[in-house]
Structure 1
Amino acid sequence: MNRSRTRIAKSAVVGAGSFVLFGVVTGLIPNPLYVRMVPRTALDYLFLALTAGFLGLYTFQRTPASQREDGAATASAVLGFLAFGCPICNALLLALFSSSALMTYLDPLRPLLGAVSVAFFGGLLYVRSQRTCEVCVDQPSGSPSE
């Protein structure tokens, strides 16, 4: 019972922490350190909340035996970050492309990137939940589960 409370607390901290961190870094949470140069939209907040929530759920389901899916989770988080982040405020993207190219080509694709990120995270969590349920069914009834 104590292990499950620890897992719940850890996943809640990861979800809330990533929401605050990503929100401050992208300017979706207004702060004096960073000024967002592109208007905030409802989709930005939706993708921020979904990405943070999925990171929390992923942390809850994560076990040492399932670490090979960490790359898929990282890719989903990066796509989510690109979906709600300010395209012309991202220093890496700005170094690779011009601001006009980012606004012309990347900005219209941000909702699609967010949808792909949500689909990847949703699929990953679905596959993990199916695997977890199969493990639960295979365990003897007297064994404590994690």
Structure 2
Amino acid sequence: MRHWPSRRWWVAVATALFTVVFIAIPTDLIDTPLFSREIPPTGWSWPVLILSAVLAGLVTATYVAHPAGATSSRAAGRAGMAGWLVTFFAVGCPVCNKLVLLALGTTGAMQFFEPVQPYLAAASIVLLIWALYARMTREYSCRLPARADAAAEVPDLVH
């Protein structure tokens, strides 16, 4: 990362800031008149959000002007997006989330979803770290050219 151009760092910072605002406003970590929260945020909500935002910014930056010939991984991209989405559920109010309320009801959200939120937070961070690792390790790799004699080794089954 120390060899990254400034453009990548700007994308990382912009994405991290966007992530904080995009998640903190609807989960009411940033108090606005648009959203409210029935249960106060946990002490780990902000640290998880900030760490996830930084990781999401770094993962996004790996997509900016990567070297020619570098291979990309769809799995890493999916893991990064999943980590970003899981962060939203991890730091949100358990009884304010409409999807959770529809699935579990208020009592179910408090009994089942709230205790799972720390694990969701850990999962989001693990997914984002894995996505960043996968993107970084493949960044300077390139595909090997196909061997000319490999085609000759495959038997011709069609006559």
Give the TM-score band, short-chain normalised.
0.7 to 0.9
1:24 CA displacement: 0.8
Which of the numbers 79, 83, 90 marks the counterpart of 1:83? Answer: 90
1:82 CA displacement: 1.1
> Where does residue 62 of structure 2 map in the other structure?
61
Which of the numbers 133, 136, 149 marks the counterpart of 1:129? Answer: 136
d(CA) in 2 for partners of 1:4, 1:98: 48
**Structure showing the higher helix proportion among its residues:** 1
- In the TM superposition, what whole-angstrom CA distance separates every residue of 1:48-78 from its partner, at most 9, and x where no partner exists? 1112111101111125852613221121112
1:7 CA displacement: 2.2
Residues 57 and 80 (structure 1 numbering): CA distance in 2 closer, same or farther, change over 3 Å? same
> Where does residue 35 of structure 1 map in the other structure?
36
Residues matched between the structures, number? 133
> Where does residue 16 of structure 2 map in the other structure?
15
Identical positions, percent: 30
- Normalised by the size of structure 1, how large is the TM-score? 0.81
d(CA) in 1 for partners of 2:24, 2:113: 20
- In the TM superposition, what whole-angstrom CA distance separates every residue of 1:16-75 from its partner, at most 9, and x where no partner exists? 011012111100011122111111122111111112111101111125852613221121
d(CA) in 2 for partners of 1:96, 1:41: 22
Q: Unaligned 5+ residue runs, structure 1? A: 137-146
Pairwise CA RMSD of aligned residues? 2.0
Tell me which structure has the larger Cα radius of gyration: 2
1:116 counterpart = 2:123: yes
d(CA) in 2 for partners of 1:91, 1:112: 20
Q: Unaligned 5+ residue runs, structure 2? A: 143-159
1:96 counterpart = 2:103: yes
